Every structure is written in structure tokens, then in C-alpha cells.
Amino acid sequence: MFGKYEFAVIGLGPAGCLFLACLPDDVWPRTLVFDAGGVGGVGGDLGCRYGNVRANLTRAELAKAFWAIPRWVSEPLPLLLGDADPDTCPLLSVVCDQLREIMKPILARVTLHSQHVTSVSQIVGGWCVDYGSGSDSDSSGGSGSGDSVCVPKVVICTGGEPRVLDYSKPAIPLSVALDKVALASYIRPTDCVVVFGTAHSGTLIMRNLREAGCSGITGIYRGSTPFRWSRGHTVDCPCALLGGTGCHDSEGVKQESAAIADAIVRGEWGSATPTLISVTESEALETALNAADYVVYAVGFNGRMPALRGLGGEVLGADYNPGTGQIAPGLWGFGLAFPAMYTKPRGGEAIDVGLPGFAMHIRACIDAIKNG
Ligand SMILES: Cc1cc2nc3c(=O)[nH]c(=O)nc-3n(C[C@H](O)[C@H](O)[C@H](O)COP(=O)(O)OP(=O)(O)OC[C@H]3O[C@@H](n4cnc5c(N)ncnc54)[C@H](O)[C@@H]3O)c2cc1C
């Protein structure tokens, strides 16, 4: 029933790539990989949607995430490091290019389906993966339309979709708002835009709106103060996992958004200075929304995944164990869809949604998965 394949890995974003790199090389020929974008999907959202955004980690910190994978420990990473200053933050497209390059030998040995997986259903001793129609370069016997394959182990690395809130205003997609050129052709300078979220992405979006000529910008923040993640405060950072300090201030890891946030707070934007409102100030929020032409939601992500069903048809996913990555026996999840938790250097736990965290989590779980 299971044929030659031991693993199906769904999603070739950073998490799927890091997982494949952790597998022993003799397992690659017994691994089936699905990504709706095929080889073009390698790097996932970093390349396809957010390539023009600057990373919130430095080249040196991102390099540590690659080097956390034992087989890559001596890789020179020329596309990421090259002659550039290791303390600068690269565009996400650069991180994606490096990932694509380093993955080439691995992708040459797995079987890649350029297809969308619609569901993963438990059967006795394994899982049945249903995938849809589309171009197909595999050699596993699939016909290319509405097919399925059974494997003992499945790993889900399908990423996430930006979370949206329920305000009845046209929303600018996050990927557009983060791209200066795309945003400039989306809005007019006279438009009023309300940006939900003042962390890294929300801050970059305010800068993009200003550069598009927009002066009617409102930023909505949660918590005691705006820009809590991006400026002037010591923040807990998962870089501690890879030997970093674990805490940063505005000169540190969020350098681009920190500079933007500092300039806003100092009033350097003049008439374009955004109005900053706490989400708890309901009257002010309502007034801003009434005047708004668009909203942008930069408030995190929801996991994106195929339908996951157990033996009795029950929906799976909610019982995911963030420590082991396990969703059910023989089924695991990593990356933005199934993030790990990390303990913050100054106490408490947080969800870990960056490459260093993905690398450390997968590395910690891989032996149990291989032997499971
Ligand atoms: C603006 C922005 C900036 C970020 N900056 C950083 C940063 O600087 N440093 C950092 O460490 N992290 C950063 N992140 C966070 C994180 O690293 C990325 O979000 C990363 O892309 C998540 O990786 P992933 O592998 O979980 O998912 P994705 O990159 O989304 O990859 C998922 C892949 O799965 C495929 N897929 C999805 N569903 C299916 C299906 N049903 N069937 C087949 N294929 C499917 C998709 O085509 C995609 O290729 C950033 C995120 C954003 C949005």
C-alpha cells in the first residue's frame, strides 16, 4: 500500500526546506515533496510574496539559522554573506535566493510534485495524501488530476495567511502594503489608510504609505505603547536560541523599522505623521475608520493547511504538540503553520515564527521523527 515512499513533506518554504535538510540523504529518494509552486515555490512566502521586504534579522543571525542544520554547518553562504556587512539586514529575496541555491542538491534527489494538497487522511499505519490537478513532474504513478498517495509519515510545512480583522472597509493585502511599488499603484495620495499593528510589518507599511504620498495615516496599536517591538525598548528575541543576546533595542535587530518608528515619534514626518491610537480607544478608532478609504492588517498570521482527518474522519490539528511538532502518530507540523514556543530570556513563552526558531525546533525533533 505504501510503495517506495517513507515521507511526504508538504510545503517548500523555509520550514519544509530546513526539514528536508535535516533528513539523512539516503531518505531523500524515499521522500515525496509537494509545493503548489513546484521548484518556483522553494523559499515559500519569503520569495513569492515578501521578497522586497527587508529581513528583521541580520545576515549574521540568518547565517546562524542555516548553520544550525548539521549538514550546512560549513557552508559559506555566498549569496547571503558575500562581501556584505554581516550586521546589515538583507532583503527577504536574498534569504530566499540562498535557500534555493543550497537546496539544489536535495531537490535533485527527492520526488517533487508541483501540486496543491487538498487533504491528509489517516489510514491504518500511515496517511493518504490527496492532491489536486496541475502540472506534474513526478514519477510516483500520479495521473496529474485529483490523485492520492499513501505514505507512513507526513510533515506539514504549509505556512500561514495574514490574519484579517472584521472591519467593513476595503483591505489592502499585506503583500501589497509591504511592497513600495505595488502600494504606490494601489492607493492615491488623498486616501486615508488605517494600519492595524505597529510591529515590524506595520511600521514598514507606514513608511511605504508616506513614500506613496499618503498623509492620512493612522496606526492602531495593542498594549501600553505603539512600536513596542520596533523601537527604543528592550525586547525578547528568539536569536537567543542561536547564541544571540536574546534582547535588542532600537539599534539592534529591528533596525529599519526602529529608525522609522523613532522618526515618527520625534515628529520628523511633519504633516504626514501618523495618528497613533490604542485599540482600546473605541471612539477614536471609530472616527478613524469612518474616515478611512482602506485598512491594512499587519497583526500576525493564521496557519494555512490542508484538511487533516483522523481514522474516524475527525478534524486534526488542534492537538498539535509545539514541543515535539507532532499532530498525530506519523503526522508532524513545522514553520508558520505549526510554530514552536520559545522561552523568552526575561521570562514567559512566545510563539516562534522566524528561521532560527524553525531550524532549532526541527533539529530538536528530527530523531524522534526518523525513528517514529
Ligand atoms: C513580511 C515578513 C517578514 C518576515 N521576515 C522574517 C525575517 O526577517 N526573518 C525570519 O526568520 N522570519 C521572517 N518572517 C517569518 C517567516 O520566516 C516567514 O513567514 C516564512 O516564510 C514562513 O515559512 P514557512 O515555511 O512556515 O511557510 P511559507 O514560506 O509560507 O511556505 C509554505 C509553502 O507551502 C506551500 N503550500 C501551502 N499550502 C500548500 C498545500 N496545501 N499544498 C501544497 N503546497 C502548499 C506554499 O506554496 C509555500 O511555498 C517574515 C514573515 C513576513 C510575512
- Quote the mean pLDDT of the chain: 88
124 and 210 in a single domain? The answer is no
* pLDDT for the residue numbered 343: 76
The last residue of one of the domains, among 274, 297, 320, is 297
204 and 285 in a single domain? The answer is yes
145 pLDDT band (50/70/90 cuts)? low
264 and 340 in a single domain? The answer is no
25 pLDDT band (50/70/90 cuts)? very high
Q: Which atom of ligand 1 is least distant from the CA of 46?
A: 21
Ligand 1 pocket, CB under 6 A: 10-16, 34-37, 41, 44-46, 50, 53, 55-57, 92, 116-117, 157-159, 178, 201, 304, 306, 335-337, 353-355
Q: In percent, how much of the chain has pLDDT > 90?
A: 72
pTM recorded for the entire structure = 0.90
pLDDT tens for 234-263 read: 445 444 445 554 444 433 345 788 889 989
Q: Are strands 153-156 and 7-10 parallel, antiparallel or unpaired?
A: parallel
Determine whether 208 is exposed, middle or buried from the number of CB atoms within 10 Å of its CB (0-12, 13-18, 19+). buried
Q: Are strands 349-352 and 275-278 parallel, antiparallel or unpaired?
A: unpaired
Please give the Cα distance from 4 to 86 (Å, whole number): 43
Q: Which domain holds residue 100?
A: 7-161+301-371
306 and 289 in a single domain? The answer is no
* pLDDT for the residue numbered 67: 97
Does residue 1 belong to any structural domain of this protein?
no
Q: How far is CA 34 from CA 39, 45, 135, 225, 303, in A?
A: 10, 15, 12, 42, 17
pLDDT tens for 117-131 read: 999 999 999 999 999
Please give the Cα distance from 251 to 234 (Å, whole number): 10
266 and 135 in a single domain? The answer is no
CA of 160 to the centre of ligand 1 (A): 7
CA of 91 to the centre of ligand 1 (A): 15
148 and 268 in a single domain? The answer is no
* pLDDT for the residue numbered 231: 53
* pLDDT for the residue numbered 198: 92
CA of 14 to the centre of ligand 1 (A): 6
pLDDT tens for 259-280 read: 899 899 999 999 999 999 999 9
Please give the Cα distance from 327 to 90 (Å, whole number): 34
- How many structural domains are present in the chain? 2
Give the three-state DSSP class for 329: coil
282 and 153 in a single domain? The answer is no
For residues 249 and 310, the model is more confident at 310
Q: Which atom of ligand 1 is least distant from the CA of 34?
A: 43
Residue 39 has pLDDT above 90, yes or no: no
CA of 40 to the centre of ligand 1 (A): 14
Tell me the average pLDDT across 320-324: 92
State the CATH number of the domain containing residue 151: 3.50.50.60
Does residue 2 belong to any structural domain of this protein?
no
317 and 236 in a single domain? The answer is no
